[in-house]
Amino acid sequence: MATVEKTSSFKDLDALVDSESTNDSLFFVQKYRDLDLFFTKRSRDKDINILTNVTAVKRSVRNLVLTNFYEKPFHPEIGCGIRGLLFENASPLTSIAMSQACKDVIISYEPRVNNVSVEVRPDLDRNAYDMTIRFTISDAPTELVELNVLLEVL
pTM: 0.72
Number of neighbouring beta carbons within 10 Å of residue 2: 6
Residue 22 has pLDDT above 90, yes or no: no
pLDDT tens column, 33-72: 777 766 677 777 877 777 777 888 888 899 899 999 999 8
State residue 102's pLDDT score. Answer: 96
Number of continuous H segments (helices) and E segments (strands) in the chain:
4, 5
pLDDT beyond 90 at 124 = no
Closest by Cα among 100, 98, 108, 112 to 59: 112
Q: Delineate the domains of the chain, giving CATH numbers in brackets.
A: 29-152 (3.10.450.40)
pLDDT of the residue at 30: 63
